[in-house]
């Protein structure tokens, strides 16, 4: 789990959010699925700036939630889009999706541990 989630970030979020922590996890998961849709749409349209913005936004969200590897992949996507190297984006999106699938499982487990079914 350590390479996927930064436990110190999660502990800080738990301390700050207290009873709202499970809702924060739920919000992150829903928000992330929308951000993935935006990445796909920007990739399909070939709009490098839209892709860069979507990756930047997703990176910040992942970083704030302790999803370190996912944030790093989004940073790579942001840089790829900044350099207008869109031929590399489908493979990167696939890596982001695979990592998000792992993170989603881990956050759902965390959600159940903290607040029942989510």
In the chain, what are the domains?
21-112 (1.20.120.160)
Q: How far from 20 is each of 11, 16, 31, 62, CA to CA, in Å? A: 13, 9, 16, 18
Residue 92: CB atoms within 10 A of its CB come to 21
pLDDT at 105 over 70: yes
> pLDDT tens-digit profile of 49-90?
999 999 999 999 999 999 999 999 999 999 999 999 999 999
At residue 31, does pLDDT exceed 90? yes
The reported pTM is: 0.93
- Residue 5: closest CA among 57, 88, 67: 67
Angstrom distance (rounded) from CA 63 to CA 117: 25
pLDDT digit string, tens, across residues 8-30: 999 999 999 999 999 999 999 99
**Residues in the chain, overall count:** 118
Rounded distance, CA 39 to CA 95, Å?
Answer: 12
Per the rule left: phi > 0, alpha: psi between -120 and 50, beta: everything else, 46 is left
pLDDT exceeds cutoff 90 at 3: no
């Amino acid at each position: 789990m350590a390479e996927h989630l930064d436990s110190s970030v999660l502990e800080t979020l738990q301390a700050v959010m207290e009873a709202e922590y499970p809702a924060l996890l739920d919000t992150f998961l829903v928000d992330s699925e929308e951000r993935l849709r935006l990445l796909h749409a920007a990739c399909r349209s070939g709009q490098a700036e839209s892709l860069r913005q979507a990756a930047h936004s997703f990176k910040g969200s992942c970083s704030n939630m302790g999803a370190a590897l996912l944030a790093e992949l989004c940073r790579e996507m942001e840089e790829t889009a900044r350099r207008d190297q869109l031929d590399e984006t489908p493979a990167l999106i696939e890596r982001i999706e695979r990592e998000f699938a792992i993170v989603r499982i881990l956050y759902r487990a965390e959600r159940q541990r903290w607040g029942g079914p989510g």
